[in-house]
Structure 1
């Protein structure tokens, strides 16, 4: 018989049986916080049957009453954050009077530490959460100091003694010092959770103000009259949902249409402020001058007097629907794409000049024109859509045209969503700001 390395056979895992047998309690909740599955440990702890919990909202099963109101608020906030962010969270130790007949001779007081973990659907969204409560009652009871219950702050003399013990200034040896450190750690953990909740609430308020400000600055009153134009705006991650990129859609007095996107250096509120100023200036210039080059010249002069504006890029395209003609000019911006109805792509790169405010004196900007066929699609975008770290920009541009060609038959709204999804911008924002216009001509 030949001998050699024998590859072990992987066992077939019954995941349902495995979940049921896990010794720690695990609860699966759907997006509405309804219990869709529990393991046997949950039923044992709660002293309830499976039929009594499956299909019910978690907060209809957990202990009720005013003494548990704070626990319920913290849990609910935690669940909603995990559903929205897709990131696991751990709650500090909390007291629950769980309905249980497992230990009839003991106190009904129980202490639990809870971990909430997201479960992702195939499309990358959070479809459910797993709640893993871990009972730490013995730990808490064993470490009560001089009758002080967890959650109640120690008296000043006792706290002073605990700190002396922790710092080695007390004659008692290590057991008491360890006890003091654990008590202080628990108390600080509770305080940290309260502070985190206050910070989340403050961030939510600030984010609401920032979103309202950005929406106001990006408002295009002419856009609703153009159902064949789709716009998208994705701020970089961690920027309070505001950024320095912009888009604009303007109906011209001549009967034509002006489309523009731009990019201010930087992120956040400072960049958004500069963005609002340049966008307004370009929008006004487009309505009063004869072409995109003159509009960018006007804004370029203005940019030299605005702190943070020099170096900003912009591109404007004016569409003459009667003559099927596009006129465009770029101030240091990436070229728009003309997507032909058959799927071919052309870059509008015949009139590129330095960014706004880059020249100390006025120089006329170039302008170019291109004819189009009804049914073609014009795509304007900012660099966050195509740039990747350690990758040549030409690679990103080729990737964009390939994606656009594959979706040439879609209407603009569906095309915008499909392009962003194919390029990997489906959730959580991006590493850089993105503004996008897709217009069916």
Structure 2
């Protein structure tokens, strides 16, 4: 089928309802046929002229505000690049055939910007809904005229609310795109850790953007060793995520030069003192060495890693726990401890969203984690990570963020 040739100028002039085009200086560039007919003006009387030279304010009405409100709305559309819906407006128009006679009109206007290739506003679409006849049909503005004007006002407000909801929907869609890009930049897929199998999960709190203050990090080190960490910044959303990004990067760098987890956390603690919003952050750092079959760890106020041994026995690595970052007024060396592991054991690091619930002791959540590990421990890391989330997170969504790392040792 042939593509129809559309004459958009003819379409514009035939549009139902009053529509005019103005420059950002509020000069008429064009108007459709309904606008000319209902406004009582010819095209020659409009084009190239300033809007309020064509339609000045009624000098006999000291309370008139239509010109001021219309100008404000149009200039707001130019400044923001966003559509602006006005409230119901009374705007008297001078009779072109009888000088000094002003005709009462009620308008419901919308001003929408048209953007050029550079993103600047080049035109304003001024669409006006004429509701004068509606007001007159209901008896004008007599003793109950305010109520009828309110009825028309509510109609306008309902339409405005629809437009606001649509803008909010578009903004939320943009926010989700930004959040996903930010998540990907701050929490990329982990680099390969030699021949060892690992799985990571990131689960933001229900009702938040797809970003949070929880993080994970895996660093491949020489000598068949890896450094693994999880951390939790206080708060949710973009501000917490920005702090998280700084701390995660700093700890990842420290892991490559520090002698062990405790020294890496000491360096992170000193750095966190210079980062707004980093106070009370919790983090646990582990160093897994397959050459010696040991896990060396240190915790800054974080829930203990879980080590699943053969036979379904779960041990929590809790012998090197210290306060969160920034909790002490002075720098103090952090503790460090080690545990041995056997081939086939599983190490699980997580943030408190996996195990903590309001009005419940933390030991209850840790017991749930141990039980789930014992039941699903033979699964591969990817399946085990999914099983832990399914078992431990509420079906309706959690109120806290969750990060999870599962490593088959």
Sort the TM-score into its range (normalised by shorter chain).
0.5 to 0.7
Residues 368-390 of structure 1 show CA distances to partners (whole Å, capped at 9, x for unaligned) of 00001111100000011111111
Q: Distance in 1 between matches of 2:171 and 2:311?
A: 50
Aligned with 2:352 (options 383, 397, 410): 383
**Alignment of 1:170 onto 2:145:** no
Residues 310-346 of structure 1 show CA distances to partners (whole Å, capped at 9, x for unaligned) of 2101001110111111100001101000011321111
Q: Distance in 1 between matches of 2:139 and 2:352?
A: 58
> How many residue pairs end up in the alignment?
288
**Alignment of 1:434 onto 2:402:** yes
**Alignment of 1:281 onto 2:250:** yes
Are the counterparts in 2 of residues 244 and 263 from structure 1 also a CA contact under 8 Å? yes
Q: Distance in 1 between matches of 2:249 and 2:209?
A: 22
User: Is 365-374 or 181-190 further displaced after alignment?
Assistant: 181-190
Are the counterparts in 2 of residues 325 and 370 from structure 1 also a CA contact under 8 Å? yes
**Displacement of 1:190 after TM fit?**
3.6
Aligned with 2:369 (options 400, 411, 418): 400
Aligned with 2:225 (options 234, 250, 256): 256
Are the counterparts in 2 of residues 285 and 295 from structure 1 also a CA contact under 8 Å? yes
Higher radius of gyration, 1 or 2: 2
Are the counterparts in 2 of residues 263 and 312 from structure 1 also a CA contact under 8 Å? yes
Aligned with 1:216 (options 185, 188, 196): 185
Are the counterparts in 2 of residues 220 and 248 from structure 1 also a CA contact under 8 Å? no
1:137-148 matches, within 5 Å, as none
Are the counterparts in 1 of residues 204 and 402 from structure 2 also a CA contact under 8 Å? yes
Are the counterparts in 2 of residues 338 and 347 from structure 1 also a CA contact under 8 Å? yes
Aligned with 2:130 (options 152, 155, 167): 155
TM-score (normalizing by structure 2): 0.64
TM-score (normalizing by structure 1): 0.60
What is the match of residue 45 of structure 1?
A: none
Unaligned ranges ≥5, structure 2: 1-106, 108-126
Aligned with 2:281 (options 312, 315, 322): 312
Aligned with 2:299 (options 330, 343, 351): 330
Aligned with 2:314 (options 345, 355, 362): 345
Are the counterparts in 1 of residues 223 and 291 from structure 2 also a CA contact under 8 Å? no
Are the counterparts in 1 of residues 381 and 407 from structure 2 also a CA contact under 8 Å? yes
* Residues 316/220 of structure 1: CA separation in 2 closer, same or farther (3 Å cut): farther
Unaligned ranges ≥5, structure 1: 1-147
1:8-157 matches, within 5 Å, as 154-155=129-130, 157=132
Residues 352-398 of structure 1 show CA distances to partners (whole Å, capped at 9, x for unaligned) of 00111222222111100000111110000001111111111111111
Are the counterparts in 1 of residues 226 and 288 from structure 2 also a CA contact under 8 Å? yes
Are the counterparts in 1 of residues 194 and 224 from structure 2 also a CA contact under 8 Å? no
Q: Distance in 2 between matches of 1:366 and 1:241?
A: 34
